[in-house]
Structures are given as C-alpha cells and as structure tokens.
C-alpha cells in the first residue's frame, strides 16, 4: 500500500509540474504571479533535492525513555551530531540561494530538515523506503560508525558518513 501511495503522489506532483510548466511556456515573458508562486512552491517541495540525515542507533528499550517525551538514551548520545546537522542545509540548493529565499522557504516549511533517528534494525529493514539521492549518516560511537559503514557497503548507496570517529570513507565531525 505504501508504494502505491508514493506512486500516486509522484504522479500528482508530475502532473502539477507539467501544468505549471505549460502555463509558463504559453507566456514565457510575463508569467502570472500565480504561476510564479506555483512554480516556486513545486520547486521548493521537489523531493529530488532534499537531504535526508540519518542518526542510526542500536535498538533500545523505550520503557526506559523519559516520561517527558522524545528523550531516550540513544538520542541523548546523538545530541552532538543532531545539533551540528540542524545548522546544515535541508536542500542541496540552499548554499547557492539568497538567504532571504531560504528563510522564506524555511518559515513556510516548504524546505525543512529531515533528520531521522533510526534503529539499525529498522534501517536495514526499511532501506528501500528512502529513495532520496542525498543521504547523510551521522555517528559518534565507534560500534555504530562501523555498522553504518557495513550498511553503506551492503546497500550500495552513494552517501556521506560524518562521524566524530576517524575511519576510511568518513568525514570527520568535530565533537
């Protein structure tokens, strides 16, 4: 069911993009404000340019999580990479765009960081669900970093692995 929903969503997105491009082609010199806004909205929401940030962790017993919400031992350990990632771009076009444009897109949530804390078991089981071309893994634990390296090799993904642990193929993250 999930794959069919994604297909329908992609079809709708493609149809809207085609309609917007058709409107812009009919009058390329003077596109209406509505057409410009629609095109900007579609371009900002295009999933092909989103960056997925993964913070893998070992399976944990959530009965030991805080009664106050989102805290768990693994997330507490990942606080450093999480804070670093929150300052990075959510979209590959952000570093090359005007700051005001990025700010407007962030405030309207057209572009928003996608940071996914994920247990390693779930990452292995659901890897096919993440079809974005830009993926970044963050780690600050030697065992997790090695597991991420194994996953990257097994999955064949082209991605970035940032870590506070030195290793082959990793970008060193300042702790």
What pLDDT, on a 0 to 100 scale, did the predictor assign at position 80?
A: 82
Q: Where is pLDDT greater, at 5 or 121?
A: 121
d(CA 144, CA 164): 11
CATH of domain 46-172: 3.40.50
What pLDDT, on a 0 to 100 scale, did the predictor assign at position 142?
A: 92
How far lies 111's CA from each of 61, 92, 115, 131, in Å?
33, 11, 13, 17
Place of tokens 């997330």: 75
Most confident of 27-31, 39-43, 99-103: 99-103
**15 pLDDT more than 80:** no
Domain-wise residue ranges, the chain: 1-45, 46-172
The b-or-e profile of 49-75 (16+ CB within 10 A means b, else e) is: bbbbbbbbbeeeeeeebeeeeeebebb
13: left (phi over 0), alpha (psi -120 to 50) or beta: alpha
Mean pLDDT, to the nearest integer, of 12-17?
A: 68
What pLDDT, on a 0 to 100 scale, did the predictor assign at position 111?
A: 81
Tokens at 36, concatenated = 């410009």
Residue 120 binned pLDDT confidence (cut-offs 50, 70, 90): confident
What pLDDT, on a 0 to 100 scale, did the predictor assign at position 145?
A: 92
Mean pLDDT, to the nearest integer, of 87-97?
A: 85
**96 pLDDT more than 60:** yes
In sequence order, which residues have a C-beta less than 8 Å from that of residue 74 and are 6 or more positions away? 57, 58, 60, 117, 119
């Amino acid at each position: 069911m999930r794959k069919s929903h994604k297909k329908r969503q992609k079809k709708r997105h493609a149809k809207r993009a085609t309609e917007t491009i058709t409107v812009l082609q009919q009058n390329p010199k003077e596109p209406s404000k509505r057409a410009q806004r629609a095109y900007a909205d579609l371009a900002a929401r295009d999933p092909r340019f989103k960056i997925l940030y993964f913070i893998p962790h070992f399976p944990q017993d959530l009965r030991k999580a805080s009664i106050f919400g989102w805290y768990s031992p693994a997330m507490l350990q990942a606080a450093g990479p999480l804070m670093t990632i929150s300052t990075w771009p959510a979209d590959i076009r952000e570093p090359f765009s005007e700051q005001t444009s990025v700010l407007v897109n962030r405030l309207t949530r057209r572009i928003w960081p996608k940071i996914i804390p994920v247990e390693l078991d779930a990452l292995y089981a659901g890897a096919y669900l993440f079809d974005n071309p830009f993926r970044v893994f963050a780690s600050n634990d030697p065992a997790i970093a090695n597991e991420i390296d194994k996953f990257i090799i097994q999955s064949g993904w082209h991605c970035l692995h940032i870590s506070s642990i030195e290793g082959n193929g990793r970008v060193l993250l300042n702790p």
